[in-house]
Amino acid sequence: MGADSRAEHAGRGRVARATLLAACGALLAGGCASMPDSGEVQQVKGSNTGDSQVRVYAVAPRENAAPGEIVDGFLEAMTSDDPGFATARKYLTKKAAGSWKPEQSITVLATAPSRKQADRNADPDKEVRVYPLAGRKIATVDARHAYQPIGPADYLWSIQVVQEPVGNGKGKEWRIDSLPPGLVLGEADFLRNYRSVNKYYFASGEDWVVADPVYIRQRQDPVTRMDPVTQTVKALLDGPTNWLKQAVDSSFPSRTTLQKDVTTLATDDQSTLKVPLDFKGNRADGVACRRMAAQLLFTLRDLPSVRVEQVELLDGQDSLCRLGKGQAAEFAPVRETDLDEKPYFVDEQGRLKKLVVAGKETAAPVDVPGPLGKGPVALGSIAVDRGETRAAGVDKNGQRLFVSSITMEQAAQPAVLESKGVRPEDRLSAPSWGGRGDLWVADRDPAKRRLWMVPGGTGQPVEVRTPWLEEDRIESLRVSADGVRIALVVRHGERTTLQIGRIERQTTDEESTVSVVDLQPAAPRMESVTAVSWAGPSRLVVVGKEAGGVQQIRYLQTDGSTSTTSVLPGLNGVSSVSAPHTESVDTPMVADSEDGIVRLPPGTNWQPVVKTGDSPVYPG
């Protein structure tokens, strides 16, 4: 073993011990009782899990460290919470330390970046070494905190290390002078340091909010020194992510910021959060202030570090308005206080039925009034509006779409829409109700594939503009409760993928148009997707397979991100799945499997509900 190799081995050992000490300090209560004082030192390539309780403390470079050790130390220091990344900058030349902007972006790899050996043919007397970094890139996070997944792709970058004179006059030390932009983290370290939160903005021209997921630091941000609450408020004030901004509005006046030097926000003994703002122009009050406060309340409600019952907006020392959680509920896309969600399904005769799945015992299915529950048409798929007053059903042949009341008896209504597809599988998809009360369905006729929107469920069908549909086929769809996003299972060739599209509406003097644009992959690591359902404001439950894997059911965010705890209990032969809008402990997920219709109460395994039946769905 040469001198450089020994030095590199020892340096990586220092990093490994620093990580272990940090983990022991954070997990002392969990029984980190002792540390071995003998045996081989092994390299640690980042954290093995996304456990946010594990802390990594950066270690400064030792004197006369080898160039490879400098690279390893820097990669490990990037995973720490060191203020200003000051220790990580000690591995850089003065020029690189001044220009490096870790807040600019994050590159997320499947595992921690692998540092390769420098060119073995390099002249040992040269004061330059180049070390390739390699990995599998799975996502990026931009300066606005937006997560963008990609299908795993090879990642390759080079870090250049040079010799730079040190200030103490003792000669030169190896330091990095060329490096990747931003941070480069393995997925486990990313999930340990960052958490997903939903910012909320108003659907354009409407009075209900839309979730916009972003990632913030789990703890104090090293660059801004803001705690998680303040980071979240700042992210909200910065405006919506680039993907969503065309379809939403913020009630905060442009250029509104937190007051200078605010890094901590905490509630008082009444669980009221006072937010000091700098409007840099005309401040808003009255209705606009209430809407701003509502955006804040919705945004902060999922943060584990704070319980906010009320927000108060301040301009200097002046109170602008206060708003409580109960008052903010009027801006929700679905009034959660009014929800008593029950799933529906199609029985063996093709009739619409209601399931009673809450509680320990499963009750018999309940008959539903109206022609879809008792009429002559045998149904193949159904959807129930969010008010649970109407239902839409596609007949067993996939040819006709019907809409009727499910609260009273009425005569059978004529079909709202018909498909001319030759084969049943080339006709209408299962329908879905949007948050505006509109009904959506895809016609899969190869002669002319189209996506339809029926205004109010009974109006004249509108063909949705889908320029991307010429080469693709929509297998199934689900529209979000806010009516701004649509989840699509799309077939391209032999592959089915999950895409999230943005719904845009434009009205001119001549016509009104509806478009689904800017499709983004929501499950890029899945080789095939079978089914999808909304499971909250920005969460999906997805059935699919990863490459070479078996079918699995898991939660995904609409931005395509996931967590280590997102996989649900396994189930054989799942063809459809549906989740409630709220995460109530009494409201289970339902699915159609080879064992019939089953339910998944929170914290348990799948349980049988009905042996024969199809298309179990919650309203939406």
Q: 331, 353, 372: which is the final residue of a domain?
A: 331
Say what the pLDDT of residue 21 is. Answer: 39
State the pairing for strand pair 589-593/596-600: antiparallel
Residue 381 vs residues 141, 399, 405, 547: alpha-carbon distances, Å: 38, 11, 16, 29
Q: Are 509 and 574 in the same domain?
A: yes
CATH of the domain at 70: 3.10.450
pLDDT tens figures, 497-511: 999 999 999 887 777
Residue 456, φ and ψ in degrees, nearest 5: 65, 5
Q: Are 210 and 93 in the same domain?
A: no
Q: 331, 358, 378: which is the final residue of a domain?
A: 331
Residue 97 CB contacts under 8 Å (≥ 6 apart), including other chains: 89, 90
Task: Tell me how many domains the chain contains.
Answer: 3
Residue 424 CB contacts under 8 Å (≥ 6 apart), including other chains: 380, 396, 397, 398, 399
pLDDT tens figures, 216-255: 999 999 999 999 999 999 999 999 999 999 999 999 998 9
Q: Are 499 and 591 in the same domain?
A: yes
Residue 350 vs residues 408, 589, 590, 615: alpha-carbon distances, Å: 19, 22, 18, 10
State the Cα–Cα distance between residues 573 and 571, nearest whole angstrom: 7
Q: Are 510 and 552 in the same domain?
A: yes
Q: Are 602 and 478 in the same domain?
A: yes
Q: Where are the beta strands (DSSP E) in 366-416?
A: 366-367, 379-384, 390-395, 400-405
CATH of the domain at 588: 2.120.10.30
Say what the pLDDT of residue 360 is. Answer: 72
Q: Are 171 and 252 in the same domain?
A: no
Q: Are 214 and 87 in the same domain?
A: no
Residue 287 CB contacts under 8 Å (≥ 6 apart), including other chains: none
Say what the pLDDT of residue 40 is. Answer: 41
| Helix (H) / strand (E) containing 3 | helix 3-26
Residue 251 vs residues 206, 232, 291, 303, 337: alpha-carbon distances, Å: 11, 16, 6, 22, 24
Q: Are 582 and 445 in the same domain?
A: yes
Q: Are 419 and 310 in the same domain?
A: no
Q: Are 405 and 490 in the same domain?
A: yes
Q: What predicted TM-score, i.e. pTM, was given to this entire model?
A: 0.88
Q: 148, 177, 192: which is the final residue of a domain?
A: 192
Say what the pLDDT of residue 281 is. Answer: 74
- Mean pLDDT by groups of 10 residues along the chain of 620 residues: 38 42 39 40 42 75 94 96 94 95 96 83 72 95 94 93 82 94 96 95 95 95 95 97 95 93 94 93 83 97 90 92 93 71 93 86 86 92 94 97 94 94 96 93 96 94 93 95 96 93 86 92 92 94 90 93 80 93 79 93 88 92
Q: Where are the beta strands (DSSP E) in 301-351?
A: 310-315, 318-324, 344-346
Q: Are 318 and 275 in the same domain?
A: yes
β-sheet bridge partners, residue 405:
390
Rg (CA), the chain: 28
Look up the domain containing 175 and give its range: 3-192
State the Cα–Cα distance between residues 88 and 105, nearest whole angstrom: 16
| Token pair belonging to 442 | 């895809």
**Sign, CA torsion 23/25/27/30:** positive
Q: Are 340 and 222 in the same domain?
A: no
Residue 219, φ and ψ in degrees, nearest 5: -125, -155
Q: Which residue has the tokens 């509006």?
A: 385
β-sheet bridge partners, residue 617:
344
Residue whose C-alpha is closest to residue 140's, from 562, 561, 546, 565: 561
Residue whose C-alpha is closest to residue 316's, from 264, 236, 240, 262: 262
Say what the pLDDT of residue 125 is. Answer: 61
Q: Which residue has the tokens 């983990």?
A: 23
| Token pair belonging to 108 | 């997320």
